[in-house]
């Protein structure tokens, strides 16, 4: 079944860990693009200087972080890369999980065309290896931009599920194995003072 609002309305670090192995489905032009989530980072505004809404800072950009849990927060970095986040915890608490990476699981050729503008047969081994291992790469493959900022994760355009059978696909045997979750410091937040050392990045190999 699809993940419900109750899934997101919990401790952000717990949600970040439990999102690993879940399937993110983006229906684009009638085609379900599917990615298995493999890397996440937690951001908790009330205590986290790496969060855009640290200390409850409200701006036009951060307003989505105060939305109900289960809302997509998408922002632009360096003027060119989009990053997808899932709002967590009760409405009014600016918390979210950044989706840093994934593995293609449905309509891979469409994902690759979005990402590279090429068919899979035209890609180098390097391109295939580095296909979805970054938040900007993942958003490009899923055709996600600021236009989807504020979109509910409980609808039909963008949602999450536990098993691929729920959307008419077969779950690979490798996805049924127990997850070996790794924990580390987050990436690219050198400005965040003590928050640099928070062990809020979670990933699976």
Query: 3-state DSSP call for residue 190?
Result: coil
- Beta strand 158-161 with 181-184 is unpaired
**How far from chain centre, in Å, is Cα 144?**
11
Contacts of 82 (CB under 8 A, 6+ apart): 74, 75, 76, 135, 136, 139, 140, 144, 145, 146
> What pLDDT shows up at residue 118?
87
> What pLDDT shows up at residue 131?
93
> What pLDDT shows up at residue 120?
83
> What pLDDT shows up at residue 70?
98
Residues of the chain with pLDDT under 70: none
pTM, whole model, 2 decimals?
Answer: 0.96
> What pLDDT shows up at residue 107?
92
> What pLDDT shows up at residue 97?
98
Query: 3-state DSSP call for residue 168?
Result: coil
> What pLDDT shows up at residue 78?
84
> What pLDDT shows up at residue 99?
98
> What pLDDT shows up at residue 72?
98
């Amino acid at each position: 079944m699809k993940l419900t609002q109750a899934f997101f309305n919990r401790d952000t670090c717990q949600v970040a860990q439990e999102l690993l192995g879940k399937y993110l489905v983006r229906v684009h032009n009638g085609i379900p693009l599917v990615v298995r989530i493999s890397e996440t980072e937690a951001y908790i505004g009330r205590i986290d200087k790496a969060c855009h809404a640290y200390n409850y800072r409200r701006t036009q950009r951060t307003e989505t972080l105060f939305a109900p849990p289960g809302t997509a927060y998408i922002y632009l970095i360096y003027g060119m890369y989009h990053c997808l986040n899932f709002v967590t915890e009760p409405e009014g608490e600016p918390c979210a999980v950044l989706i840093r990476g994934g593995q293609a699981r449905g309509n891979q050729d469409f994902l690759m065309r979005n990402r590279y503008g090429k068919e899979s047969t035209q890609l180098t081994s390097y391109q295939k290896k580095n296909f979805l291992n970054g938040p900007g790469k993942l958003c490009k493959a899923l055709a996600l931009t600021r236009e989807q900022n504020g979109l509910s994760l409980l609808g039909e355009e963008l949602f999450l599920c536990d098993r691929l059978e729920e959307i008419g696909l077969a779950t690979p045997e490798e996805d049924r194995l127990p997850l070996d979750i790794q924990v580390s410091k987050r990436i690219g937040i050198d400005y965040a003072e003590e928050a640099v050392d928070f062990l809020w990045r979670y990933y699976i190999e």
